[in-house]
Amino acid sequence: MVFRIDRRITSCRNVFTRLLSTLLFSWGAASMASAQDHPNILLVMADDMGFSDLGTYGGEIETPNLDTLAASGMQFLDFHVSVACSPTRAMLMSGNDNHIAGLGAMGELLAPNQKGQPGYEGYLNDRVASMAEVFKGSGYHTYMTGKWHLGHSEGWYPYDRGFDQTFTMLVGAASHWDDMLGVYPDDDPAKYAQNGVPISALPADFYSSRSYADMLMDMIRSNRGDGKPFLGYLAFTAGHDPLHVPEPWLSKYAGAYDQGYETLRRTRWVKAKSLGIVPATAKLAPLPSFVLPWDTLSDKERAYEARSMETYAGMIEATDYHYGRVVDFLDDIDELDNTIIIFLSDNGSNPWYSENYPGAEDPEFARQFDNSYENIGHPLSNIAYGPGWAVTSASPLDRFKNTVSEGGIRVPFMMAGPGIVQGGKSDAFAYVWDVLPTLLDITGSDYPADKEQPRGRSMLPVLSGQAKAVYAEDDLVGGEVGGGKWMRQGSFKAVMIPAPYGDGVWRLFNTDIDPGEVNDLSGDMPQLLTSLMAAWEDYAEDVGVVPAE
């Protein structure tokens, strides 16, 4: 019962850590004055952004505003989430495991035997409190714009879970324009809601990244001057497909990706090592066998692939630009210096093409779109960039979204604001369920005693420069979605990736020195692998994993 024993130890450590971090926060982070005990919180999430898409993580896409955020605070190099959208968002909102919070699997992908099981409700359940409910109870205004994906039915909208003002896309993905077209038939047209009321039309000038930024600024402006802090959750739907972006970003990267994904992923790997994002000795994972080598594609196929990546890069830069507008707004209204800013992606890069979505090849659904080369990025296109660019977006890590490889679950994470070390890089392992406990520590807020208590740890000792690690070397952290399994202890990660992206065999890696998961240690350290596999079984029993049948 490795995991249960560890949980009892961890529970004691959590109490000690919280007391210690409170003292450190009071003594070591004195720059956060008493008037700033309740700072504003701006929580920004990108959708399906790969580990190296940002300049500060080794990418070639121009992201000056997010690069500035990294330089202004702490940049994490070993931060983890779940393999897909809604499980990660459930943990972010609750500070708990996705199986406890109701998203043991994405609601759209529940197996028949999982439906109706505890932890598989398909929405953020009432066993947990949401981040918005917590901070609303602490006197905060709570605002949200963008992607929710934690409940499509009335009663489970973000407005029902503690947000005062909302304008949200409820589903997993949709057009970034005003047409509300979904990426597959079951979510077409896509569902949106404003302040708890379903809406049937979007503004005629709607573009997701710009509009969500505008709407959040309007919400903040609406209560400005009343003395209350705010929690603003800006959940961009970029860079999730379909790949859409207006000018000038649509043409910005023309020709930039003609060399292909193999060349670019090596370039990013080299840049990440030069920046210290991964060790200088880190090896680049082999190209997955199901990704066609660039030189085997026809000229027409290479042009189409390159144009898709050009559009994706433009989307990411546009997202950076609109995030920057929100930061400038906070500066203009004299709130920036008293705002904690957090940025992360919900999972790794997406390997699917648009036709891989369930039902997307249905002729009636497909005839809505114009997926010609000339229309990529424009309204009525429904294009995703596929596995070749996905492994590139994740470089120097292995694989991508929907897998428990590092490319699927290690993502960019940056946090800045009063009391946080500026210009720091941390190689501490941290997990998405740690975000809410960290904010509780910073603000002195309390989580409701009648709910399942957060399992995450506060990152505050690391953020304030008082500690190097969030977890001790013998602590165990694991996860599961879609049959993929992982268990982390110190530097070591046991991982099992099922078909179609793996072979279902457990392997062992030291991800501190081998983030590309190239060197399997299971033959050299069989006892450790056996121990971590047993720990995963204990974890699965503890949180109520129900394997799909």
Backbone φ/ψ region at 544: left (φ over 0), alpha (ψ -120 to 50), beta: left
Distance of CA 217 to the CA centre of its chain: 22
Of the residues 80, 99, 141, 149, which is catalytic? Answer: 149
Residues paired with 416 in a beta bridge? 341
Catalytic (active site) residue 176: no
pLDDT at 33: 32
**H/E element holding 40?**
strand 40-46
Q: Which two structure tokens, joined as six digits, stand for 155? A: 């009663």
Residues paired with 192 in a beta bridge? 169, 199
Catalytic (active site) residue 12: no
CATH topology of domain 39-471: Alkaline Phosphatase, subunit A (3.40.720)
| Contact (Cβ atoms closer than 8 angstroms) between residue 275 and residue 58 | yes
DSSP 452: P
**H/E element holding 193?**
strand 192-194
Measure the CA–CA gap between 80 and 406, rounded to whole angstroms.
8
Of the residues 85, 99, 152, 244, which is catalytic? Answer: 85
| Contact (Cβ atoms closer than 8 angstroms) between residue 189 and residue 370 | no
Helix and strand numbers, DSSP H then E, in the chain: 15, 16
Q: Strands of 282-412 (E only): list them.
A: 339-345
Give me the half-sphere count of Cα atoms (radius 13 Å) on the Cβ side of residue 243: 32
Assessment of whether the complete model's pTM goes beyond 0.75: yes
Measure the CA–CA gap between 202 and 220, rounded to whole angstroms.
21
Give me the half-sphere count of Cα atoms (radius 13 Å) on the Cβ side of residue 512: 11
Measure the CA–CA gap between 319 and 314, rounded to whole angstroms.
9
pLDDT at 17: 41
| Contact (Cβ atoms closer than 8 angstroms) between residue 88 and residue 82 | yes
pLDDT at 48: 96
H-state helical runs in 229-298 = 249-252, 261-274
Give 72: exposed, middle or buried? Use CB within 10 Å, 0-12, 13-18, 19+.
middle
pLDDT at 37: 65
Give me the half-sphere count of Cα atoms (radius 13 Å) on the Cβ side of residue 51: 33
Q: Which two structure tokens, joined as six digits, stand for 74? A: 């702490």
> CA dihedral in degrees (179, 310, 304, 182; nearest 10)?
-20
3-state secondary structure of 477: strand
- Residues contacting residue 41 through CB under 8 Å, at least 6 positions apart: 135, 140, 229, 230, 231, 232, 339, 340, 342, 439, 443
Measure the CA–CA gap between 302 and 299, rounded to whole angstroms.
5
Cis peptide before 239 (omega within 30 of 0): yes
H-state helical runs in 230-347 = 249-252, 261-274, 299-332
Measure the CA–CA gap between 369 and 363, rounded to whole angstroms.
10
Degrees to nearest 5, angle at CA 199 with 195 and 205 = 105
DSSP 354: G
Distance in Å from the first CA to the final CA of the chain: 26
Degrees to nearest 5, angle at CA 389 with 242 and 311 = 45
Question: From the first residue on, what is the mean pLDDT of each consecutive set of 10 residues in the chain (549 residues)?
Answer: 35 40 37 57 97 97 98 97 96 97 91 93 96 96 97 92 97 96 92 96 97 98 93 97 97 97 96 96 92 96 97 98 98 96 97 93 94 97 96 95 96 96 95 98 95 96 96 96 96 96 96 96 97 97 94
Q: Strands of 77-172 (E only): list them.
A: 79-80, 141-147, 165-169
Measure the CA–CA gap between 121 and 114, rounded to whole angstroms.
9
